[in-house]
Amino acid sequence: MTALILDGKALAQKTEQELSQRVAALAAKSGKTPILATILVGDDPASATYVKMKGNACKRIGMDSIQVELPSSTTTAELLDKIEQLNNNDAVHGILLQHPVPEQIDERACFDAIDARKDVDGVTCLGFGRMAMGEKAYGCATPAGIMRLLKAYDIPLEGKHAVVVGRSPILGKPMAMMLLNANATVTICHSRTQDLESHIRQADILVGAVGRPEFIKAEWVKEGAVVVDAGYHPGGVGDIELGPLAEKASALTPVPGGVGPMTINTLIYQSVESGEDFLA
């Protein structure tokens, strides 16, 4: 068995072509393009790189972005004030607060201050609740990107046993709810799970979202499983030991080039959707 490669980079590039056409059509109709506001607090180089990549993705499809940069000394009150300004700015259609923020800031309060109509990164509790209940909402970008990738490759989910390793509020938890809404039977594993290996061995669909390099061993994965690795670590490895799975899994996401490109692409995709809602 040779695993089908779920190529997120190729899908993201194809989607950008389609989004460019939608942005052009919106500009022709309304005279405006969608605008994404990104907020970067502090000087973390990795966060700065991610924000730059998101701005470049906006440029590639012809939409605009506003970069808001705040010092590492920013308080929760100051960040909440900036978010409120963007909420009230009719020219802004999407708001991204780059994670993580400095430790003195109440990140959850700031996430939840984002207007749900502009929550194109899917980070608010309101958005999570609506998504979990099957209502219209922007999904958290990484799990929503994974779902789009699985759909593009016609990976069947209904009735399958999906195991999600990790329970973070912006990846593991929303991933589990999205799979549940797709009629998969879902197991969520975490740092207190006993006998993790036995749970993973039962997975038809395995999602690694634990944040530790190659923590999930290839020998734990059952023959023919669909393997989604949402991790990325120095040296170009993910959360799952992928090498031996090329001849064992039925499908897998490469690292890099699998989930990563779909995260940014989904943010931009949802920003275009928001722009269309505001400007139509």
How much is the pLDDT for 109?
A: 98
Banded pLDDT at 183 (limits 50, 70, 90): very high
Residues 6+ apart with CB under 8 A from 174: 122, 128, 131, 132, 139, 140, 143, 144
Cα 271 to the center of its chain, rounded Å: 13
Q: Are 31-126 and 141-259 equal in CATH topology?
A: yes
pTM, full prediction: 0.96
Average pLDDT over residues 188-216: 97
Which residue matches tokens 């789009």? 148
Residue with tokens 């990976």: 155
d(CA 4, CA 251): 4
Q: Band of the pLDDT at 61, cuts 50, 70, 90?
A: very high
Q: 3-class DSSP state for residue 4?
A: strand
Whether 252 has a pLDDT exceeding 90, the answer reads yes
Tell me what pLDDT residue 280 has.
81
Residue-level pLDDT at 1: 80
Beta strand segments in 190-278, E: 205-208, 226-229, 251-252
Helix (H/G/I), strand (E/B), else coil: 233: strand
| Average pLDDT along the chain | 97
SS3 274: helix
- What is the β-pairing status of strands 64-70 and 35-41? parallel
pLDDT digits (tens, 9 = 90+) for 42-60: 999 999 999 999 999 999 9
Gap between the Cα atoms of 233 and 236, Å rounded: 6
Report d(CA 8, CA 262) in Å as an integer. 6
Class of domain 141-259: alpha beta
Sheet holding 35-41, edge to edge: 64-70, 35-41, 94-97
pLDDT exceeds 90 at position 70 = yes
Q: Delimit the domains of the chain by residue range.
A: 31-126, 141-259
> What pLDDT, in 10s, does the model give residues 105-155?
999 999 999 999 999 999 999 999 999 999 999 999 999 999 999 999 999
pLDDT exceeding 70 applies to what percent of the chain? Answer: 100
| CATH number for the domain formed by residue range(s) 31-126 | 3.40.50.10860
pLDDT of residue 4: 98
Q: Which residues form the catalytic set?
A: 54, 98, 121
Reported as a pLDDT band with limits 50, 70 and 90, residue 82 is very high
**Whole-angstrom distance, CA of residue 197 vs CA of residue 199:** 5
Q: Which tokens is 88 given? A: 């009230």
Nearest alpha-carbon partner for 240 in 257, 222, 220: 220
- Strand, coil or helix: 66: strand
